[in-house]
Amino acid sequence: MVNKIVVFWFRRDLRLNDNHGLQEALGAGLPVLPVFIFDTEILEKLSSKTDARVAFIHSEIKRLKKETEALESSVKIFHSTSFEAFEKLLNEFEVAAVYANKDYEPSAIERDKRIGEFLKENEVEYRLFKDHVIFEENEVLKDNDEPYTVFTPYSKKWKHALDENPVPHYASEEKLEGLMKIKPFVLPPLKEIGFEESPLEIPSRGVSDEVIANYEKTRDFPAEEGTTRLGIHLRFGTVSIRELVKRAKNLSGTFLNELIWRDFYIAILWHFPHVVNRSFKKKYDSINWRNSEKEFERWCNGKTGYPMVDAGMRELNETGFMHNRVRMVTASFLTKHLLIDWRWGEAYFAEKLLDYELASNNGNWQWAAGSGCDAAPYFRIFNPENQQKKFDPKNKYVMKWVPEIGMKRYPEPVVEHKEARERALKRYKDAVK
């Protein structure tokens, strides 16, 4: 047995820079051993063995390993359940404490509870820190201490809290010297974990000031490179949310609002975990969905006969990305035009999106379906043709993904807009009256 050490558990914070939990671990006065677990309980639920997100995580762990090895340390990597990994760690090292950053998803909270109990039984301290968000849990509440369920007042309170509590920066090069000196550990090849490389391209983690500054003008036009594409990096913490908020505060109030939406939906998920599989507004669970599997398949494959919808779905299937404006159009189309349960669409996006994050995906789907907090009212039904005229006036985006528009092989619309709108209004009205 070596002398006592502290373990830092990398999860959704794959960076050395400005990492709250890591800096706290390094300040504990003991050598810090970084670990990462390719958790079989999570990986076994993934349907595709070429899931680009797993390949991305693998490449980021490779990078972290290289960075720590430049400091004569390394990252110890497990391919097992998190419980089995900690059993092995406690057998191999004299662990005084385990440090990690918080994860606010219900399954992660449950996992942390189990790990915490196991560590406590073994007299090992377990400490969790806020790193993934700016404000968490009960930090932004109404004056009566209830959680906000409407975005605008939440965002005002959030901004006030930001003015009162400047964003900290958890970074210290000197502290990194506190990483445990150890020979490099082995990173199992992706194939050994049961996955393969993906052909999908991962967007850069670097975003220019110009893109952020112009965000308000460009963000709604899918043919333009007008968004940051940072979703996957925020999801896995390869960029710091604190550094991004500081930039947004200086450059773009509109982009800052998008980051506040992210905190808002994470807070909603934490306060109201039932939203994972039920409507936030319970009465919406009584909607009589049509749930046509044939029409769902047409939607998934981008063959609805509505170019804006089809372009979005094809972009998603081919790249793992869909422009945010188009996400709203495709989600509204599925839930309102086709009257297919939002949970079907949410699950499809969860499988395909590189930047999939449970809180935002769930919040946005429930927003589109009208069943969520601060949702679009059920009678707000996007007209896909009007959306195309407004946000892709030269058809540049739709022609890129649906070049057969106007040809015989392009399908007729799966449903007529006016008819679909009236049908949706009736079904929703019957359910929520």
Of 67, 84, 214, 289, which one is the catalytic site residue? 289
Burial label, 199 (beta-carbon count in 10 A; 0-12, 13-18, 19+): exposed
Q: Is the pLDDT of residue 433 over 80?
A: no
- Using alpha carbons, list the distances in angstroms from residue 232 to 45, 321, 322: 19, 10, 12
Sign of CA dihedral 416, 418, 421, 425: negative
All structural domains of the chain, each given as residue ranges with its CATH number in brackets, are 1-130 (3.40.50.620), 133-169+207-271 (1.25.40.80), 279-432 (1.10.579.10)
For the chain, count helices (H), then strands (E).
19, 5
Q: Is 261 a catalytic residue?
A: yes
What percent helix, strand, coil does the chain show, rounded to 5? Answer: 50, 10, 40
d(CA 290, CA 273): 26
Residues 401 and 323: beta-carbon distance below 8 Å: no
Residues 357 and 231: beta-carbon distance below 8 Å: yes
Q: Is 324 a catalytic residue?
A: yes
The crossing angle, in degrees rounded to 10, of helices 342-352 and 324-332 is 150
Q: Is the pLDDT of residue 310 over 50?
A: yes
Q: Is the pLDDT of residue 1 over 70?
A: no
Three-state DSSP at 282 gives helix
The pLDDT, as a whole number, for residue 2 is: 52
Kindly give, in sequence order, each residue whose CB lies less than 8 Å from that of residue 284, ignoring residues fewer than 6 positions away: 369, 370, 371, 431, 432
Among 4-13, 303-312, 366-375, the range scoring the smallest mean pLDDT is 366-375
Of 270, 342, 367, 401, which one is the catalytic site residue? 342
Residues 261 and 134: beta-carbon distance below 8 Å: no
**Distance linking the first and last C-alpha atoms of the chain:** 67
Quote the tokens at residue 7. 């373990």
* Percent with pLDDT over 90 in the chain: 95
| DSSP run (H or E) holding 384 | helix 384-391
Kindly give, in sequence order, each residue whose CB lies less than 8 Å from that of residue 300, ignoring residues fewer than 6 positions away: 313, 317, 348
Among 170-174, 191-195, 275-279, 404-408, the range scoring the smallest mean pLDDT is 170-174
Instruction: Give me the residues paired with residue 125 across strands.
Output: 97
Select from 290, 291, 292, 268 the least CA-distant residue to 281.
268
pLDDT digits (tens, 9 = 90+) for 22-54: 999 999 999 999 999 999 999 999 999 999 999
Of 9, 261, 270, 367, which one is the catalytic site residue? 261
Q: Is 17 a catalytic residue?
A: no
Of 299, 365, 367, 401, which one is the catalytic site residue? 365
The pLDDT, as a whole number, for residue 158 is: 98
**What is the spatial order of strands in the sheet that 95-101 belongs to?**
76-80, 32-39, 5-10, 95-101, 125-129
Of 324, 351, 386, 422, which one is the catalytic site residue? 324
The pLDDT, as a whole number, for residue 349 is: 98
**Average pLDDT of the segment spanning 399-428:** 96
The pLDDT, as a whole number, for residue 33 is: 98
- Per-chain mean pLDDT for the chain: 96
pLDDT digits (tens, 9 = 90+) for 65-109: 999 999 999 999 999 999 999 999 999 999 999 999 999 999 999
pLDDT digits (tens, 9 = 90+) for 186-221: 999 999 999 999 999 999 999 999 999 999 999 999
Q: Is 289 a catalytic residue?
A: yes
Instruction: Give me the residues paired with residue 33 across strands.
Output: 7
d(CA 309, CA 66): 43
* Percent with pLDDT over 70 in the chain: 99
Length in residues, the chain: 433
pLDDT digits (tens, 9 = 90+) for 123-161: 999 999 999 999 999 999 999 999 999 999 999 999 999
d(CA 350, CA 384): 23
Q: Is 9 a catalytic residue?
A: no
**Average pLDDT of the segment spanning 263-272:** 98
Quote the tokens at residue 21. 């939990």
Of 87, 139, 243, 258, which one is the catalytic site residue? 258
Backbone angles phi, psi at 359, to 5 degrees: -60, -50
Q: What is the pTM of this model?
A: 0.95
Q: Is 258 a catalytic residue?
A: yes
Q: Is the pLDDT of residue 226 over 50?
A: yes
**Average pLDDT of the segment spanning 7-21:** 97
